[in-house]
Structure 1
Amino acid sequence: MSRDPDYYQTVSLKLSEVLNDIGVNERMILKRRRMYLLWETMETSTYRLLGTNMSLYRFGSQSEGSTTIGLRSDNDTLVCQSESNVIQDWSQWQPGKLNVLMIQDETTSPGYCLLQWLRNDEPLPLPIHHIPNSKLTVSRGKVLLKNTLLREIAAIEGRVINGPAASRQGRPGIADQDHVLAFHCKSWPAEAQPWLEKQGIGRWPTEDMKRYCETTGCFVVPVSSKNGQNEELEWRISTSHAQRCLMFSLNITKLRCYILMKMILKTFINPQCDGVLSSFMCKTVLFHCIQNTNSNNWVQSNLLPCLMCCLTVLQNFVRQENCPHFVIPENNLMAGRISPHNKVRVFEILQKIIQSKGRALLEIPFDDLGTRLQLKINMGEAFQYHGTPAQMFAEISSLLLYNIISDISRNHKLLLESMHDGNEMVYKRLSDFTLTLTRMYRAMGFNSLEKSAVRLLTPLLPSSLGSVIASHDIYTTGSISPEALDWFSVGLNSDVSSGGLKLASALYCVGDMERAEFVLRNTEEKYDLNTTEPVCACYDHPVNYPRPGFMHKCNTGNEEVIKHITAFCVRFLRCEICCVPKELQYEMFRSTQEERLERDEISDFWMDWAVVDSLPYLYFLQYKTYGALHRMADQQCALANLVTSIETEQTLTHRETALNLLGQCMEQENQHIDALRCYMISLNIRARSNAANFLICRLIYVLFNMQEPAPN
């Protein structure tokens, strides 16, 4: 094959086809970017609603679209504290703010700084005898902010420190999540000022891009350089916003080249060389190559030569042990990272890959890239062992949309967490949230990303508000007010089922069985078992492979399809107790005092609510409603459906609650042994903080009294 005069062009085109087939194409990249930008906008909006002045950013490969399913890239979240005013010049000081001055001197490494704490009443340094907390220390006559504050937060939350990031790891089926705490500086880094004037052969970045990058300022993140003299005091200067701008400007060939570099890194280099190189180094190499080559080179038919060019530059950087940061070239990304042994080993591996003229790519296992390329070169499309492009696109789309849906559930949980048990307080908070989101929505541009984020965040709140009002109505008057019904009506289209089930639950509790049955029948009609995906973010759990109908809908649309294909779990706060059947009320009191002390305060607060998956709750409410209407055949059908849903539905997050409801149905059927079996299975799923512990005791008491001989 290498004797073919068009060898490089032929392999480049086949390689481009393979990357297209695994989802590295314009359509899927744009979808990735939109979903991750939407994700970060939703999270930031939620924290702003809660009064927390933070901004969240999803930087990295996922939001850039520079990854594949097989690469399993981390979810990188930068959490920016917006209350602080990080400045580089005294003229930027602001009264009443937490002012912090970036300092660079002979002790700081290029691309790093110290943060000096300033007074908030006048532009002067904080006196060294006045240190308000343990996050500060005195060094060289200045009050400096330590970079170890992230460790304190991570220790509380059970995270692992990984460089500047606190990571949640070791959860099967869930991607690792890195959270980086940062402060934002509105001004462009002084060290990066020369970059704005530099121009290469490729005339990239353009002047417009540079002007935009300058407006994004920079972040400072809590990590020191490898060779720094101030391990606990140095902060790294990050230009993540500018990096995102640069990545978003790349054409498909440049992105494919970067992804191939990462695959090579993970296949050949890092497993043998202690992970000495990073994907950020590959990105930096790519940027340098684009800047210093003619833009006409970066076309699909030239992908392999472009890749070889990048690998050659990377090899030169390894030889020199210097990978200059693209924006701040004095910052050597390889400083202190490569041992003499690994330097030789990495150089040799890169040399072999370059000399192979692309044959080494056949050994890449990620996304079956090597196998796919072999088939493209030798057999065309005649035979395939792996997923078709359509299947790959559907899988990517469903994973992206599932993340958005999970975040809607997670943000709804966070908003409910801020509530207190008092009905009036919850009513006010929910009303304020809903009205604030409505005002935000009306003030935004017609097609803005922020508008889409608010449109996704809002629908679950009206059902909660309607239920809070209805619970108070039922307690005081025994009926449901028009105001409550209006809010229920607004929330009916939040998703396939949860809004309808909250309304049906309230109607059942007030004794309006005919209307409850009508709502339940409509909900069941909308709930397509082949398409609707149950989603719950009450706690972290492995994500099963979505059903085909769900994947198809995700592939053909964006976030607008969510309300037609999603079944959120149904959540009731304690102040909604009058809208909750007595069988489900037990879930609000599942924890003993001892169990409450052992719970994770950050993640387990939902255990004080009644929470149930939509599908089993639909069938449970039907069972109770049909029983009240004396429609016994329909009641038994609902019971059979409840059993089937628990046994066959893989994506039930609150399966133990569904089993507890089923057990109580079995008790009503006088099938006490089956009821006991349900409770025991429930305990096998969740041994502690489970209402089954009480239900078993109650059932044993009933059985014991049934067996007592009648008195003479």
Structure 2
Amino acid sequence: MDFLSENIDAGFQHLCESVFVRLCQIVGTSVQVAIRRETRDIKEMVDRRVADNDNVIEMESGSIREGFRLDGSDLDLMFWPNDHRVIFDMFQSEHYYTEDKTLILSDSSESPPGFTLLELLTPTTYRKVQSACVPMKDRLYISSSIFRQQQQSHWFPGSIGHGPCESGEVGGFEYDLAWCFACDFGPRSASWIDRCHSWPDREVVNEIVRNGCHFVPIGHSLGLHEQEEWRISFSLAEHKLVHSMNHCQFLTYGLLKIFLKEVIDKQSEETNKLLCSYHIKTVIFWVIQQNVVPLWCPQNLLAGFWVCFKLLLKWVYEGICPNFFIPENNLFLSKVHGSAQRKLFLELHGLYEKGLVCLLQSPSISSYMTNVFYNPRLSICTNEDRMISECDHDKELFNEIDRNITYTPQNLDHCIKYLHTIELMIGEPLTQYQVLMLQRITATILQSTAFTLHNMYTNTGLNKQMYIADRMSCHMLKLAARFGCISDMMYIAMFYCKTFRYREALCITDIIKVKLAQPGLMYRRRVDPERYTEAVGGQSWSTKMRQAVVYDITLNNCTCYINELTLEQQSALQNKKVALFIPLFVVLHFVEFLCYRHIDTTLAQTALEELQVLVHHDQGLYVNDLDRDISWEILGICQQMTGNLQAALYSYQQSLIQYPWHTIQNATQMRIQDLHIT
């Protein structure tokens, strides 16, 4: 049944509109998706501009970077050494100063389309690259399989190798980490640019070309040099293409992903691993570019879905899924063939014969479709502004800011570089979400700078310099709190505690407690919508952040905030963990305990008891599961300081059996040994 050749009647329009509304609930409205993308854009923009030549660059890719927050969406991260670059011919070497860049030549003469060998042209100081080199044809090539093994860092327990990635699960979400090499040029074989007549527009094409591509360590299973070959990755180009979709196209992409997971993959065990989300992404790219759907709008959403499904069915029948960027690269070549291909085609054809009714097999969509079937005259509002409340909008924004806000400058020079970068960005054209993100980043960098500056002049014996540094640090922390959120005041309290101004620190914690008792507080996406709207509804996001938003405390492991946590920060840093993430309420009680020990031992005991109740009995309201290792550790430190060694031992043992999110086990073991309990 070809829905494009028919007049779209009112019933079909209602069905499309109902699915559109449901997808906005599952996938997100255009505003929510924009928030997710733009906050991440700013983070990566700041990171790139601050990065030194010998740094490792991080890029988020995959569905989360595209703007999805679907159940089961995994976190995809790509890393590459900033001082290495791949080129496609020797003429491109003229663009680099080889004293600070290691050049690698792509040689695809003997590789299948989309794959290549990488020849090391200039010396490298990167040990893992050196050890991955193998001699071939009187030249030195970087073996993808050896490099992949070398980079297996096992960041989290239970991680395994999966294709070019290190994969695993932590805190309920799955992740893929891939080390790769960057290239500032597009491959000669990428013919897709010549097809760009209607989509994407020329500006997007030019940006993709300027951004180049990457090479991930995996060879083609049918290639001559599988163990040495690298796959050309267009991850950056892909999320640029996805970002250039209109919202109806993006929701259609989301519907295809849901349909794959909830319907296609449920057909049989034999076929449920043959298709993946990358095939779905390839389908939607081709359909949009071929301009088969004349109008992508809510009333036509299912027509777009059906065109994509028919193209997927055709590809499975033919056994050919052409890569969007290099069509000669058949993405089905090593998986969709033989009896499995025939069975998958029959399953998809069975769904096709049912027409759009096959969507009723999707638990996420079916009830909304059924509602329209039973109520054909149902009036459906597709106005996105009326689908999401002000509170939900704000919740999305502040949550996305929180997930992108980890910044860990390593020294004062690095702090200054961050601040200078932010200063230059203030004058650039930014969206309203990006301005708020930049404001939050500024607060974070000021906090790191304040403590870094103080630590530099501690115990120098230079009183005047110490006094000046102290005044500057205090000023930066107060400035950060002025345009930050409620929890940013906690850094002032920590600074006063660190500099022996215990009463001033306690004054700050008292103010924080009053603010935390206010109705309508937004903490970890938890908020009473009515009270939140009553408290700050209609005000600017900057005002809302100052008056109603609470985040947990992040300690940059390159600087000391609380002397009693030095051991934990050093342990984490040795394991390449750049920060400690501590629940706000744990830090609050911890600082109160440390201060009251010098003022009122009774109140110190009260603070300790409140901390103990929180750590022992909290059910995830204030102490996240991933933060339980550091929370038990802090409780143990306090108990050890009071001389309650048995209780401290129990707390340290509890810390050791939690998920090792902060990699502080070495510190915990040292503290247990210091107890001298046999």
Fold conserved between structures, TM > 0.5: yes
Q: One-letter code of the match for 2:176?
A: D
> What are the Cα deviations for residues 388-418 of structure 1, in whole angstroms up to 9, with x where unaligned?
x978997797577546425434x33xx4xx5
- Does residue 653 of structure 2 align to residue 683 of structure 1? yes
- Does residue 237 of structure 2 align to residue 242 of structure 1? yes
**Which residue of 542, 546, 569 maps to 2:553?**
569
Mark the CA change 1:498 to 1:30 in structure 2 (over 3 Å): closer, same or farther: closer
Q: One-letter code of the match for 2:65?
A: S
- Contact 1:533 1:550 (C-alpha < 8 Å) held by counterparts: no
Partner of 2:111: 108
- Contact 2:114 2:329 (C-alpha < 8 Å) held by counterparts: yes
Partner of 1:435: 416
Mark the CA change 1:694 to 1:478 in structure 2 (over 3 Å): closer, same or farther: farther
Mark the CA change 1:182 to 1:374 in structure 2 (over 3 Å): closer, same or farther: same
- Contact 1:520 1:618 (C-alpha < 8 Å) held by counterparts: yes
**Which residue of 440, 443, 448 maps to 1:461?**
448
- Does residue 307 of structure 2 align to residue 303 of structure 1? no
**Which residue of 214, 218, 229 maps to 2:224?**
229
What's the CA shift for 1:28? 1.5
Alignment of 1:50-69 (within 5 A): 52-65=54-67, 67-69=68-70
Q: Distance in 2 between matches of 1:600 and 1:508?
A: 23
Alignment of 1:49-128 (within 5 A): 52-65=54-67, 67-70=68-71, 72-94=72-94, 95-96=98-99, 97-105=101-109, 107-119=110-122
Flag the structure with larger Rg: 1
3-state secondary structure, aligned to 1:296: coil
Q: One-letter code of the match for 1:440?
A: T
3-state secondary structure, aligned to 1:190: coil
Mark the CA change 1:661 to 1:87 in structure 2 (over 3 Å): closer, same or farther: closer
- Contact 2:183 2:214 (C-alpha < 8 Å) held by counterparts: yes
Q: One-letter code of the match for 2:26?
A: I
3-state secondary structure, aligned to 1:322: coil
Q: Distance in 1 between matches of 2:573 and 2:424?
A: 39
- Contact 2:656 2:668 (C-alpha < 8 Å) held by counterparts: no
Mark the CA change 1:699 to 1:396 in structure 2 (over 3 Å): closer, same or farther: farther
What's the CA shift for 1:229? 1.5
> What are the Cα deviations for residues 557-616 of structure 1, in whole angstroms up to 9, with x where unaligned?
879966662344364979859x64xxxx3x54579xxx98xx994246879xxx964423
Q: Distance in 2 between matches of 1:402 and 1:116?
A: 43
- Contact 1:18 1:372 (C-alpha < 8 Å) held by counterparts: yes
Partner of 2:12: 8
Q: Distance in 2 between matches of 1:694 and 1:438?
A: 37
What's the CA shift for 1:310? 0.9
Q: Distance in 2 between matches of 1:306 and 1:572?
A: 48
Partner of 1:151: 149
Alignment of 1:275-674 (within 5 A): 275-294=273-292, 296-365=294-363, 368-378=364-374, 398=395, 401-402=398-399, 404-409=401-406, 411-412=407-408, 415=409, 418=410, 429=411, 431-444=412-425, 445-448=427-430, 452-453=437-438, 455=442, 457-469=444-456, 471-472=458-459, 481-492=467-478, 493=480, 496=485, 500-505=489-494, 507-508=496-497, 512-528=501-517, 546=526, 548=528, 565-569=549-553, 571=555, 580=563, 585=564, 587-589=565-567, 601-603=574-576, 613-623=583-593, 625=595, 628-629=598-599, 638=607, 641-646=610-615, 647-648=617-618, 649-651=622-624, 652-653=627-628, 654-660=630-636, 662-663=638-639
Mark the CA change 1:157 to 1:337 in structure 2 (over 3 Å): closer, same or farther: same
Mark the CA change 1:605 to 1:686 in structure 2 (over 3 Å): closer, same or farther: farther
Partner of 1:541: none
In the alignment of these two chains, the number of paired residues is 628
3-state secondary structure, aligned to 2:80: strand
Q: Distance in 2 between matches of 1:132 and 1:289?
A: 40
Q: Distance in 1 between matches of 2:48 and 2:120?
A: 26
- Does residue 28 of structure 2 align to residue 24 of structure 1? yes
Mark the CA change 1:691 to 1:108 in structure 2 (over 3 Å): closer, same or farther: closer
3-state secondary structure, aligned to 2:263: helix
Q: Distance in 1 between matches of 2:220 and 2:557?
A: 48
What's the CA shift for 1:521? 2.4
What's the CA shift for 1:152? 1.1
Q: Distance in 2 between matches of 1:691 and 1:623?
A: 20
Partner of 2:44: 40
What's the CA shift for 1:275? 1.0
3-state secondary structure, aligned to 2:405: helix
**Which residue of 168, 174, 177 maps to 2:175?**
177
What's the CA shift for 1:317? 0.6
Partner of 2:134: 137
- Contact 2:263 2:361 (C-alpha < 8 Å) held by counterparts: no
Q: One-letter code of the match for 1:75?
A: L
What's the CA shift for 1:217? 2.5
Q: One-letter code of the match for 2:221?
A: K
Partner of 2:160: 160
3-state secondary structure, aligned to 1:236: strand
Q: Distance in 2 between matches of 1:604 and 1:198?
A: 45
Q: Quote the RMSD (CA, aligned, Å).
A: 4.4
> What are the Cα deviations for residues 240-277 of structure 1, in whole angstroms up to 9, with x where unaligned?
33322322221122112211111121123335314111
- Give structure 1 stretches of 5+ with no counterpart: 122-130, 383-388, 419-428, 535-543, 702-712
The TM-score normalised by the length of structure 1 is 0.75
- Contact 1:471 1:576 (C-alpha < 8 Å) held by counterparts: no
Q: One-letter code of the match for 1:435?
A: I
> What are the Cα deviations for residues 134-176 of structure 1, in whole angstroms up to 9, with x where unaligned?
3222223433221121221115656422222222x13242x22
Q: Distance in 2 between matches of 1:559 and 1:197?
A: 45
3-state secondary structure, aligned to 1:262: helix
3-state secondary structure, aligned to 2:180: strand
Q: Distance in 2 between matches of 1:293 and 1:606?
A: 48
Mark the CA change 1:489 to 1:525 in structure 2 (over 3 Å): closer, same or farther: farther
Partner of 2:248: 253
- Contact 1:656 1:682 (C-alpha < 8 Å) held by counterparts: yes
Q: Distance in 1 between matches of 2:275 and 2:77?
A: 21
Q: Distance in 1 between matches of 2:607 and 2:282?
A: 60
Q: One-letter code of the match for 1:481?
A: Y
3-state secondary structure, aligned to 2:222: coil
What's the CA shift for 1:56? 2.5
Q: Distance in 2 between matches of 1:132 and 1:313?
A: 41
3-state secondary structure, aligned to 1:258: helix
What's the CA shift for 1:334? 0.9
> What are the Cα deviations for residues 449-483 of structure 1, in whole angstroms up to 9, with x where unaligned?
8885553651331332254157437x887997242
Mark the CA change 1:503 to 1:478 in structure 2 (over 3 Å): closer, same or farther: farther
Q: Distance in 1 between matches of 2:450 and 2:154?
A: 34
Q: Distance in 1 between matches of 2:34 and 2:196?
A: 28
Q: Distance in 1 between matches of 2:196 and 2:498?
A: 71
**Which residue of 237, 260, 265 maps to 1:265?**
260
Q: Distance in 2 between matches of 1:645 and 1:180?
A: 38
- Contact 1:268 1:349 (C-alpha < 8 Å) held by counterparts: no
- Contact 2:79 2:180 (C-alpha < 8 Å) held by counterparts: yes
- Give structure 2 stretches of 5+ with no counterpart: 380-385, 658-664
Mark the CA change 1:572 to 1:435 in structure 2 (over 3 Å): closer, same or farther: closer
Q: One-letter code of the match for 2:476?
A: V
- Contact 2:46 2:421 (C-alpha < 8 Å) held by counterparts: no
